[in-house]
Amino acid sequence: MNLLETAEKFFHTCESLKGWDACKDSVADNAKFIAQCEPLTEIKTVKDYVGWVTGLGTITAPGCAYELHASAYDEANKTAIFYATFTGTHSGEGGPVPPTNKTTNTHYVYALKMNDKGKIESMIKIWNASWALRELGWM
């Protein structure tokens, strides 16, 4: 499996809410997670991010979905990029307020840096979280 295929497998497994056990073989030990958005500032590892997104999708917004619009791989920097849209309705328990039954269609990007062993060593999520939180009625 080439590096883009490994990264793509992780992306789809994570976004399909399959959880850490399904994702961990694609990720290096203690892989770092970085995001410059309010809901994710305390999350520091890819493992913790996978847990967060799984909880969001299964508890807070059951029935959510994603659409992948584009993917690319930069060989020189060993980085895979995925641009997608998450669609979810806050109809389940969880989140900062009781269920609002409001929906968000929010764009985001994953940048997955691969190591020499073919695993994800770090992940950056680029996301306008405040847009999504407003659409969900959380702010």
Return the bridge partners of 73, or none: 80
**CA–CA separation, 58 and 72 (whole Å):** 28
Q: Does the pLDDT value for residue 139 go beyond 80? A: yes
**Per-residue confidence (pLDDT) for residue 10, from 0 to 100:** 98
Residues near 61 by Cβ (< 8 Å), separated by ≥ 6?
88, 89, 90, 91, 92
User: Mean pLDDT across the stretch 42-58?
Assistant: 95
pTM of the model: 0.94
Q: Does the pLDDT value for residue 1 go beyond 70? A: no
**Cα separation values, 127 from 14, 54, 105, 123, Å:** 16, 17, 12, 13
Q: Decide if 21 contacts 113 (C-beta within 8 A).
A: no
Q: Does the pLDDT value for residue 33 go beyond 80? A: yes
The residue segments making up the domain with residue 93 are 3-135
Domain count, the chain: 1
Q: Decide if 111 contacts 118 (C-beta within 8 A).
A: no
User: Mean pLDDT across the stretch 9-16?
Assistant: 97
For residue 40, the domain's CATH number is 3.10.450.50
